Structure 1
Amino acid sequence: MADDDTVKKHAICFACAQQCGHIAVVRSGEVVRLMGDRQHPRTAGFICPKGAQAPQLHNSPDRLHYPLKRRGARGAGEWERISWDQALDEISAKILALAETHGPETIAHSFGTIRSSDCAIGTRFMNLLGSPNAVAQDKICVGPTALGEFLTYGFGPSLPALEAGITECFVLWGSRPMQSARPSWRSKEAALAGDTRLLVIDSARTEEARRADLWLQPRPGTDAALGMAFLNAIIDAGRIDADFIARETVGYAELTERASEYSPERVSAVTGVPADDIRKAAYMMSGSGPTAFMAGNGLCQAGVTAVQHGRILACLIAITGNLNRRGGNFLAGPPRDILANGEWMATDALPPAQRAKALGADRFASIGQHDRLDELVGRAWYGKRGVAHWLSSAHEPTLWEAILVRDPYPVRALIVQGHNPVGGSPDTARVREALLSDKLELLVAHDLFLNATSALADYVLPAAHWMEKPYFSMGGASLAWSGDYVEANYAVIAPQFEHRSDYDFFRDLGWRCGQREHWPERAEEFFGQALAPAGMSFDQVAAHHGPLSGAAARHPDHAGPPAPSATAYGTLSGKVELRSGLLEEWGQDSLPYFRRPHIFERAAAYPLILVTGGRQIEGFHQSAQQTDAFRRKNPHPFVSLHPDLAGDLGVDEGQWVTIETPVGHVRQMVRFDDRHQRDVVHADRWWYPEGEATPEDSFGVLATSINVCTSNDPGDVDPIMGSWLMRGLPCRIAR
C-alpha cells in the first residue's frame, strides 16, 4: 500500500464517557490503528484497551451491516435482508397508526448509557411525536447522586477541583477512577503526590484503597448509614463552617437532629466500620483546608437509598464549607449560551398533559413533577429550561408492566437503541416475557450486534460505531453539566456498509412522521444549531484542537464573568437546602436517611452479600465485550469469592457455582479474589454473548446474567426516582 494512502486524523474516542483524544491512522478509508494524542490538552496521550481495540470492534465479523426483518416467531433467528427505506417506511407507518388509534404514549423508546454524541437523540423524536416514554439509564447511572445534589443546591453533579498545595483531603467514595476514569485520575495525581490526603470509602480493596491514607470498608449497601454517621461526628465535634451554614443554607437545625440518630457506634454495627475509623474519616474530611469529594455510580445502584447518597454527599460538602471553594467542589452549571439538554431534546414540544403520562410519573416525583425542579433550576442558571431534563426519563421496569398487563396503559411499540435490557435490566425473565409478548406489536432494535434483545426484534437495524460519527460534547455529551465547555470533531471515517448513526436513524424516521422541519440533513448542522446562540458553528469548534471553555465557549457579548444570578441556588428557598423544600412538596422525607431494602426481610436463608457491576478498564457496558482483549481476560462470566469463603463452601477456582438471591439464580465460574470481605460475593455485571441463542433462553442470559438476581421490587427501589437495586443484595452460593 502506498504511503500517501495513509493519513492521520484527530479523533475523540467514545468507547466510554471519558472521551479521550486520539490519533487515528486511516488507510483506504479504514482505521488501522488508534494512538493516544499527546497534544490533546485534556488527556495528553492516554489510551486504554477500549480505545486501542476500537478498530477491532468496528471490524468485528459479528457486526450488523444490513437491515433485517423478522420471519417466523420472535427469537427464532429467521431473518430477511431488506433495505433501509423499506424498514423505515414500515416502521413509521406502524408508529403513526398506533399513535393515531391509541395515543402517542403507547410508543416507547429505550436506550443505553452514553456511548456517542447522538446517544439519547431519540428523546427528541419522542417529544415531537407526543410520547413521554423515552427511557434512559439515568436511574442507575450518575442520576441519583446528581438528583440529590440538584435537590440540595439546585444543580448537580458538583465537580471536585483538586489543587496541589491547596486541597487538604480528597474523598473517593465508591469510585474506581483508575479503572473507569484514568484521565480524570491522572489529573488528580499531582495533588495526591503532594500534601493532599486520600480517604477511600469502598467495599473492595481497590488500587485506590491501597494508596489511601485511610480506607473504610463498609458492608455493601450501607453507605448511606455511614454518611449519616459522618454528619453526626462532624456536627458533634463542631467541625463545621458556621459562617457558610448561617449565610447560605436552610435546615441545619433539622439536619442536626436527624444526624443525632446515627452515632458512629450505632452505625458501626450496621456497616462493619469501627466507630473510631468513622470519626477519623469525619475529621479528615472536615479539616481547616479544602476537601474535594468524588462519588461513584455504585452509590446510584443501591435501590431505596440511591438519591439519599446524593443528598448526604451534598450536605457533607455544604456543612464543611467545601461548596464553590477553591480546592473543594464547585457547581459548573450549564453552558450560558449553548443550548441546554432539554432544549436539544425539544421538551417544549411535548404538551404538559402528555408529559404527565410518562411511565412511572404516578409513583416517582422526579418523573411526574420534574417541571417544578426545572423551573427552580432555571431561576438560578440564566433562565434556561431543560437543564435537568436528562434526569426525568420514563421508568424502565414500569415499561415491562405497561406491555404485559397494560398498567397504567398499554405500550404497543418499542424502539431499543444501543441497549440490551434482556441482559442489563433487573427481573430478566419478565423483560424477555414482555419483549416476546404478542401485546407488543412492534419491536425495533438499532445496534452494533445481534444480542439477547435485538434477536427478539421485528426489525434489526445496523448502527454506526463512534468512529463513523461526528463528535460533539458540552460536557458528558448532551448532558451539559461542565459549564461553558464544548468540543467537536469530524467523523474519523464515513459510515460503512449500511451503518447509520442514532441521529440519522431518527432523522429519517422523523421525516416520515411529520417532523421534517426539526431534523437538519446532517448531524453537524444539528449540533451547529445548539452552538448558534453562542455565535459559533460546528466547523469553528471542530477546527480547535481540544475543548473550548470559559469565555471561549460563550457569545462575545458574554465574555465577562457569569451573571450574578449564577451564584444563587436553584431551590425553593434560593439557598442550599439541607432540609429540601421540594422533597417536602413532593410528599417525601425532606431530610437524608438510611433504610434497608425490603428484600432483607427475606434474607434469613441468604447469609452472603452480592455486589455486581465492578468496572474493568477493558470493558464499558455491552460493546467492548466483543473484543479479543476483553475475551482473553474474561472467557467466562466470573463470580469472585474470597478464598476463605470458597474453602468453607468446598469450591475451587474454575468451578461453576450457582448464585442465588430471593429474586432468582444463575451460574458463573469461580474466580478467587480477596479484595472483598469474606462474606461478599462479586458477580460480573453481564457478559456478551453469554451463549448460543435458543428460543427458550436467548444467548444463555437466563442461565448466566446476574440481572436475573437483581431487584426492581417496589420495596427495593428509590421512592423519589425509581432506581432499582443492583448492589448489596442478600445471596447464597451453591455448588
Structure 2
Amino acid sequence: MACAEEIRSVCPYCGVGCGIVMEVEDKKIVRVRGDAAHPANGGRLCTKGSSCDKPVTSPARLDCALLRPDRATPLAPVSMDAAITETARRLRHILEADGPDAIALYVSGQMSMEAQYLANKLVKGYLRTRHIESNSRLCMAAAGTGYKLSLGADAPPGSYEDFDCTNLFFVIGANMADCHPILFLRLMDRKRTGAKLIVVDPRRTATADKADLFLQIRPGTDLALLNGLLHLLVEHGALDTDFIATCTTGWEDMAAFLADYTPERVASLTGLAEDDIRTAARWIAEAGEWLSLWTMGLNQSTSGAWHTNALCNLHLATGAICKPGAGPFSLTGQPNAMGGREMGYMGPGLPGQRSALSAQDRAFCEEQWHLPPGTIRDANSDGAIALFQNMAEGHIKACWIICTNPVATVPRRGRVQAALEKAELIIVQDAYADTETGPYADILLPGALWAEGDGVQVNSDRTMTLARQAVPPPGQAMPDWQIIARVACAMGFAEGFSFTSAAEVFSEASRFVNPLTGYDISGVSHARLKDGPVQWPAPAGDTAPR
C-alpha cells in the first residue's frame, strides 16, 4: 500500500489562517491535521478545521457549466469553453451597448489573492466600471476604514505572537471562544500565566464566561464606552505623552471632545456600573502592554469605522501600539478578506492598498498594467447594498457573482432577489450547485475549491500561506483566477490576462509595493511559500518568515 502524500496548506474557514497538513491517497484527501510548524496555530485545529476536507467531496458540487439563452428556458449543461465564450460575448455586448457602469462584479473574501487581484484588474483597468463590491463590505470594511482614519493604512499593526506577551486582553464585539477558537486557546494560555481579560458584549457568551471583568453593555453604546475610557485615562494622567507628541496629530482637540464622556454619563448610556468602567480604565493604565480584539459586533454598525477609530485612539494615547504585546487587533472573518482588502477588491481600491481616487495611485497602476494614462477612472462605488439597489432600478444590467451567495447573506433579501430578476445577465461562479443565488443565474460557472488549485490566503496578522492543490477539481471546474483570466481573454483583453499559473498572477501582484503604507510583498513568491508561510512586509531580499 502506497504511503499518503502530505501537502501543507491552510484552513479555508475563518481569518485565523491555521496551517493544515492534508494526507492524500489516490487523489483523495484521507486525513487533515494541524500543521505544527505553522505560526498561526502550532498544530491546533478546531472542529471546522479538522473536517475542512468534507465539503470537497460534497454531492452538491457543481462540476459542469450551465447556461440558458433566456429566463424562460431551464439551465442546461454546456462545455466550459462554450460557457466562457458566451460569458465574454454577453458581457462585451452590454459593455458596448450600455457602457462600463452597466456591469458589476460582486466578489468574496473566500477567493484566493490571485483571483481577487485579477477581478479588480479586469474591473478597473479593462471594463472600466466603478462597480466592484465584496461581501467584505458587510463585515471588515468598517475596520479597514477605521484603520485608515487612525493609522493611515488598512492592516493590523500586530502579530499573533503579541498574544503570548500581553498583560491585558480587551475583547469587544467578538465571541472568540466560538468564532476564533484557536486564537482564543492562545489567549487562554497567556491568561493562565497572569494576563487579565476584559470582555465587552451585550450577551454573556462563552468568551464572557472566562472574563476577569465582564461588561454587559447596552447594545449600540460601544462608542460611548470607548470614549469614556479615554476620558478616564486623561483624567488620571495615564497617557504616553512622549508618544503622543512624537507620533500623533490632533491630540489638542481631544480634551473638548472627551468632556462629554464623564463616567456618570457613560454609565447611564451603557447600562454599566460606574465602578466597572473605572476598573477597566485602571487595568488599561496599569497594563502597559495591552491588546484590543474585535470583530463583527463592532464592525456591523452604522458607526463601525468610528469604533475602530476609538479603539486606535486608546492605543495611541497610551503608546500601546507597534511594540510586543500591544496594539489594536481586528479579527478577520473570512480566510482571505485581508488579501482582498490589499488587492483593493471593493469600492475605489487598487492593488497594494491604493485608491482610484488618487491620481498618483491611478498612474502607478496604469504603468504596471501597461495601460494608457487616464484609463483608470477617478470613481468610487456606492457600496454593496447600493449595488443591488442600482441593479433593481435597471442601472446595472449585468452582475458577475464570484464565490459568494448574496441571496442568503446580503441584507434586504427581497431587494437582492428583485435586482437579480431585473438584470439582463447574472453570472454565478461557485463551487456548489445548490446555493440560494444559483437559480437566478443565466450562466453558472463551476469554481474549484481551495484544495483543488494553488492560491495564496492572507490571515488576520498579515501572514501569507500558500493553499496548494491536493486533489483535482471535479469535472470541468476551474480555479477562480483561471476562469476570470479566460473570460477576460475571450473579451479581447489577452494582453493583460494570458497567465498560465497562479504563481504568475502572484508574481505580478507582488510588484504593487506601497511605500506610503508599508505594504510590500515583493520578496514573496509561490516558490518561497512552498517552504512555509511569510508575514508581510517582506521586501525583495527578505528571508525572515516573520
TM-score (norm 1): 0.63
Kept after mapping to 1: 8 A contact 2:311/2:328: no
Please state if 1:371 is matched with 2:358.
Answer: yes
In the comparison of the two structures, how many residue pairs are matched?
504
Q: 1:33 to 1:442 in 2, by over 3 A?
A: same
How many Å separate the matches in 2 of 1:115 and 1:290? 35
Q: 1:276 to 1:52 in 2, by over 3 A?
A: same
Q: 1:249 to 1:36 in 2, by over 3 A?
A: closer
List alignment gaps of at least 5 residues for structure 2. 331-338, 366-379, 512-520
Give per-residue Cα distances to partners, 1:454-512, cap 9 Å, x unaligned: 11111112111111121324555xxxx73xx5432531112221111110110110111
Please state if 1:242 is matched with 2:225.
Answer: no
- 1:222-241 alignment to 2 at 5 Å? 222-241=221-240
Tell me the SS of whatever aligns to 1:539.
helix
Kept after mapping to 2: 8 A contact 1:138/1:393: no
Kept after mapping to 1: 8 A contact 2:17/2:459: no
How many Å separate the matches in 2 of 1:297 and 1:92? 37
Give per-residue Cα distances to partners, 1:335-369, cap 9 Å, x unaligned: xxxxx97895699xxxxxxx98x9xxxxxxx9998
Q: 1:451 to 1:216 in 2, by over 3 A?
A: same
Q: 1:250 to 1:345 in 2, by over 3 A?
A: closer
How many Å separate the matches in 2 of 1:368 and 1:174? 29
Provide the residue aligned with 2:202 in structure 1: 203
How many Å separate the matches in 2 of 1:465 and 1:341? 17
How many Å separate the matches in 1 of 2:345 and 2:132? 12
Kept after mapping to 2: 8 A contact 1:106/1:411: yes
How many Å separate the matches in 2 of 1:518 and 1:367? 19
Pick from 407, 410, 415 the counterpart of residue 430 of structure 1: 415
Please state if 1:418 is matched with 2:397.
Answer: no
Q: 1:257 to 1:374 in 2, by over 3 A?
A: farther
How many Å separate the matches in 2 of 1:277 and 1:526? 52
Q: 1:302 to 1:20 in 2, by over 3 A?
A: same
Pick from 13, 16, 19 the counterpart of residue 15 of structure 1: 13
How many Å separate the matches in 2 of 1:507 and 1:165? 42
Provide the residue aligned with 1:521 in structure 2: 500
Tell me the SS of whatever aligns to 1:148.
helix
Kept after mapping to 1: 8 A contact 2:293/2:329: no
Kept after mapping to 2: 8 A contact 1:37/1:45: yes
- TM-superposed CA distance for 1:321, in Å, is 1.4
Provide the residue aligned with 2:333 in structure 1: none
Provide the residue aligned with 1:652 in structure 2: none
Deviation beyond 6 Å, 4+ runs, structure 1: 340-343, 366-369, 372-375
Provide the residue aligned with 2:44 in structure 1: 46
Kept after mapping to 2: 8 A contact 1:11/1:24: yes
Please state if 1:167 is matched with 2:166.
Answer: yes
- TM-superposed CA distance for 1:85, in Å, is 1.5
Pick from 439, 442, 447 the counterpart of residue 463 of structure 1: 447
What code does the residue aligned with 1:547 have? P
Kept after mapping to 1: 8 A contact 2:293/2:328: no
How many Å separate the matches in 2 of 1:158 and 1:474? 12
Tell me the SS of whatever aligns to 2:2.
helix
- TM-superposed CA distance for 1:442, in Å, is 0.5
Provide the residue aligned with 1:548 in structure 2: 534
- TM-superposed CA distance for 1:246, in Å, is 2.3
What code does the residue aligned with 2:322 have? N
Measured on the aligned residues, the alpha-carbon RMSD in Å equals 3.2
- TM-superposed CA distance for 1:432, in Å, is 0.7
Q: 1:165 to 1:369 in 2, by over 3 A?
A: closer
Tell me the SS of whatever aligns to 1:514.
helix
- TM-superposed CA distance for 1:80, in Å, is 0.9
What code does the residue aligned with 2:65 have? P
Give per-residue Cα distances to partners, 1:202-233, cap 9 Å, x unaligned: 12222221221111011222211211211222
Identity score, percent? 25
List alignment gaps of at least 5 residues for structure 1. 333-339, 348-354, 359-365, 379-391, 563-735
What code does the residue aligned with 2:431 have? L
How many Å separate the matches in 2 of 1:441 and 1:395? 21
Tell me the SS of whatever aligns to 1:54.
coil
Tell me the SS of whatever aligns to 1:464.
coil
Provide the residue aligned with 1:441 in structure 2: 424
Q: 1:422 to 1:69 in 2, by over 3 A?
A: same
Please state if 1:137 is matched with 2:135.
Answer: yes
Provide the residue aligned with 2:298 in structure 1: 299
Provide the residue aligned with 2:387 in structure 1: 399
- TM-superposed CA distance for 1:426, in Å, is 1.2
Q: 1:165 to 1:152 in 2, by over 3 A?
A: closer
Kept after mapping to 2: 8 A contact 1:203/1:218: yes
Kept after mapping to 1: 8 A contact 2:16/2:459: no
How many Å separate the matches in 2 of 1:52 and 1:429? 36
- 1:89-100 alignment to 2 at 5 Å? 89-100=85-96
Q: 1:32 to 1:123 in 2, by over 3 A?
A: same
Kept after mapping to 2: 8 A contact 1:165/1:196: no
What code does the residue aligned with 1:171 have? F
Give per-residue Cα distances to partners, 1:639-681, cap 9 Å, x unaligned: xxxxxxxxxxxxxxxxxxxxxxxxxxxxxxxxxxxxxxxxxxx
- 1:182-201 alignment to 2 at 5 Å? 182-201=181-200
Provide the residue aligned with 1:102 in structure 2: 98
Tell me the SS of whatever aligns to 2:399.
strand
Provide the residue aligned with 1:579 in structure 2: none
What code does the residue aligned with 1:150 have? K
Kept after mapping to 2: 8 A contact 1:15/1:115: no
- TM-superposed CA distance for 1:84, in Å, is 1.2
TM-score (norm 2): 0.84
How many Å separate the matches in 1 of 2:325 and 2:525? 34
What code does the residue aligned with 1:27 have? E
Give per-residue Cα distances to partners, 1:613-654, cap 9 Å, x unaligned: xxxxxxxxxxxxxxxxxxxxxxxxxxxxxxxxxxxxxxxxxx
Q: 1:411 to 1:346 in 2, by over 3 A?
A: closer
Q: 1:512 to 1:188 in 2, by over 3 A?
A: same
Please state if 1:286 is matched with 2:285.
Answer: yes
Kept after mapping to 2: 8 A contact 1:163/1:191: no
How many Å separate the matches in 1 of 2:89 and 2:273? 63
Tell me the SS of whatever aligns to 1:138.
helix
- TM-superposed CA distance for 1:140, in Å, is 2.6
Please state if 1:68 is matched with 2:66.
Answer: yes
Q: 1:149 to 1:489 in 2, by over 3 A?
A: closer
What code does the residue aligned with 1:324 have? C
Kept after mapping to 1: 8 A contact 2:9/2:19: yes
- 1:145-156 alignment to 2 at 5 Å? 145-156=143-154
Kept after mapping to 2: 8 A contact 1:17/1:114: no
